Amino acid sequence: MRIGAYSYIRSYSKLLGIAEIGRYCSIGRNVTLGLPPRNHPVDWVSTSTQFSRQYTHQLAPTVIGHDVWIGNNAVVMAGLTIGHGAIIGCDAVITKDVLPYEIVAGNPARSIRFRFDKAIIEQLLASKWWDYDKHELEKLDFQDIIQFTQNIWKLNQKAQLSLIEIKGKRVRPG
């Protein structure tokens, strides 16, 4: 499992079969990521663990993109991809992939809306802003999406942004 820089996971959360959590992710309390859809064999005579200790269910890994916000008590089922910039509401149960910059909520979760229009989303995804040095990013206005997308391209074209690779295994307990 890989967890990107500047991401945090609040207490009582469970990470099951997670391949990657991107940078700048905010994961709330008591969130379950990668919950298997079938912990018990539904097509056997009994679902009891007394008879099914050898049962295994192959699952694809769960992937959380960059800059994803997941609200408290949310559940993301195994094998799903949560796109960059997505927002998952509190208590949501995610049973299918979430697109980049999509806001979803409910049980089962449904799409509420997208954070930005399609053109802005394409610009943000193409910029891969999350890969750049945090200190350079702090110079940009994150409150104004139009200004941000214009300025990230200007800085990128002038080669004033440098990619940063953070290596190591430092984990700070919460």
- Sketch out the chain's domains with CATH numbers: 2-115 (2.160.10.10), 116-174 (no CATH)
Using DSSP's 3-state secondary structure scheme, residue 98 falls into strand
Flag whether pLDDT at 39 surpasses 60: yes
Catalytic positions, written as ranges: 40
First vs last Cα of the chain: how many Å apart?
19
* Dist. CA 77–CA 29, nearest whole Å: 17
Flag whether pLDDT at 84 surpasses 80: yes
Residues 42-62 pLDDT 10s? 778 887 878 877 777 677 899
Give the other-Cβ count within 10 Å of 168's Cβ. Answer: 6
Residue whose token pair is 């509401």: 89
In the Cβ-directed half-sphere of 6, how many Cα atoms lie within 13 Å? 15
Q: What is the gyration radius of the CA atoms in the chain, in angstroms?
A: 19
* Dist. CA 167–CA 16, nearest whole Å: 23
Q: What angle do CA 163, 16, 35 make, to 5 degrees?
A: 120
Q: Tell me the percentage of the chain whose pLDDT exceeds 90.
A: 64
* Dist. CA 141–CA 58, nearest whole Å: 44
Instruction: Please list the helix, strand and coil fractions of the chain in percent, rounded to the nearest 5, in that order.
Output: 15, 25, 55
Flag whether pLDDT at 8 surpasses 60: yes
pTM, full prediction:
0.85
Of 98 and 42, the structure prediction assigns the larger pLDDT to: 98
Task: Give CA separation, 117 vs 90, 106, 121, 150, in Å.
Answer: 24, 22, 6, 15
154 pLDDT band, cuts 50/70/90, is: confident
* Dist. CA 123–CA 29, nearest whole Å: 31
